[in-house]
Structure 1
Amino acid sequence: MRTAITVERWTPLSIASVALAVAVLIGLAFGPLVLGANAVDELTTLFIYVILAVMWNALAGYGGLVSVGQQAFFGLGAYAAVRLADFGVGVYPALVLGALLVGLVSLPISAFMLRLKAGEFAIGMWVVAELAHLLVNLDSLVQGETGTSLIALNAYAAETRHALTYWVALGAMTALLGTVFALLRSRVGAAIQAIRDNEEAADAVGVRVLRTKRIVFVLAAFGAGMAGALWLATAISFQPKTYFSVQWTAYMIFMVLVGGLGTFEGAILGAVIFFAIEAWFGSAGVWYLVGLGATALVFALFLPRGLWGVLESRTGWRLLPVGYRLRFSDGGSPLPHGRTASVPVHAGGSTSQG
């Protein structure tokens, strides 16, 4: 019997999912008006976790750049916000400008780091984080490990401060999610994934490897910097050893491994799961961290595709369509599980950069 092949991206399920996501984001915008202070703070924390997970997933899951030093940009984002506020910049504009400065600083860093491969890149990023930590400690404003505070936040009443931080976090999360989604659906997104799969082959077909890797590297740095600045706005105090701790990258890795490395939905799911685990077991101290490490190890060994990756392979669900896929049908009826395969190519059918 004849087999029909259909190339698809949008499906009724994905259209409904995107519409629901937009409705949820609109509803969340009214959060501070209807929720209590504790719920507002908890949701702000969740937004920051989503940013961290999506940014690390874009870098490692899609770009193949596994970093254990993203805490460098997280800490620099918080530090830049403190510095800008001390210079007289408005506290909330300072959060965004601080993240932009981190993105700018990541450009010269990328010139060196992106020439490293695999484990060399991962360790090199950890070295960058340690170096950034040491340099920040030299600033007299920070006073070494004693740290400082974002004193300008005291100009706002507590309720106003929590609401403004919530809205900035929600806006940043929405903008970054939209940016990553649009990037991955573009020719650059196809090039990023081609480099991840086989850098030499991608270069051979015309992909501008270094430039493409730099785009995702800078975006991930900016996102981590934004998350660090937002965390500062929730905590107020800035202590370098806290913000430059490798545990931030460990959290990112955990969220992405559990949710699904290299899947857009998986990073979001992983952030929600991590948020719930922290809420329930965060008070367990060192055993909480041991549990996170053991869970991440189990997923890496036995469920390398994460929860969403397994669910997607069994059901064929794709809520947020990043790439294309082929649907094979027999006589007009889809074969079991849709017999689908994701094909991360540009609409023009090319992964090359013009």
Structure 2
Amino acid sequence: MEMPTSMRAAIVREPGGPEVLEIGTVPAPRPGPGQVLIRVEAAGVNAPDAMQRKGLYPPPPDASPLLGLEVAGEIVAVGGAPEGTEGAHALALGDRVCALTNGGGYAEFCAVPAGQCLPWPEGYDAVRAAALPETYFTVWSNLFEENVARAGSSLLVHGGTSGIGSTAIQLASRRGITVFATAGTAEKCATSVRLGATAAINYREEDFAARIAELTQKRGVDVILDMIGGRYLDPNLRSLATDGRLVIIALQGGAKAPDADLARIMTRRLHVTGTTLRPRPASFKARIAASLRREAWPLLERGEIAPLIHAALPFTEVAEAHSLLDSGSHAGKIVLRF
């Protein structure tokens, strides 16, 4: 097809609530060296998008200023010789792929490093494929790429029915890891168990640290995957076993934790780490993509795991999608359809 010069995209008028999102026309991107241009058929909606909309999560200098960290669609153009695409499979015009983007997913076209693309799992449509990249890349890179969570160990996942949480539960439980989860309603707790958690704790009704102590005979868990941050730091530390590891991947509960007992880190030899995926180099993301295709994609294609999708809304209803995201009432991913 002829390279597009303009496209429709979701635009943030100014930092604020969902109402600041509107559909406008912007210049279409062109694929650079090592990139492909994807005609977007669906795009995932994620918590970092809401943070960026509020002005709290600025994109890296070399990233698209548009929202959207994952897409699914058709490759319509290929850039020059690839750079930093270790592990990338061969891509060609017409291939249907899903991709972890560096931004720009809420648009009709998106330029993406080739190494961050993966084929749609067999039998998947665009909506299901678009629900995969951001959560699968995040979970895999934080729990499995460096063997942080191992078979025979135990894992606590906060937000069991979030995109990250539902993915972590499914992948970990199928790798021989005992998984516990937190969620905000009885229904979400039941969904977490259905996905593979041994037990789920309603954090609105129970002290999750006390409940973890009961469930583990006061031993604690080996790993915690945490998206809350600040106000969860102390109960997280109380929930870890000796030599346990707390992996912080978001700060939805704030960046400050004045009441945490840091002596526990020393006395129990705890490891506290934090990561953000978006600024990592293309070569790192390509390595994660290769691991996912080898380890996770066969499970998806056999139906042993699957994305949990709450709703798929038309692209023109992007403000409504963000309102739903902000409400916290959803269970699973929210996806935009083009």
Q: TM-score, normalised by structure 2?
A: 0.23
**Larger helix percent:** 1
More relative contact order, 1 or 2 (CA 8 Å, 6+ apart): 1
Q: TM-score, normalised by structure 1?
A: 0.22
**Larger strand percent:** 2
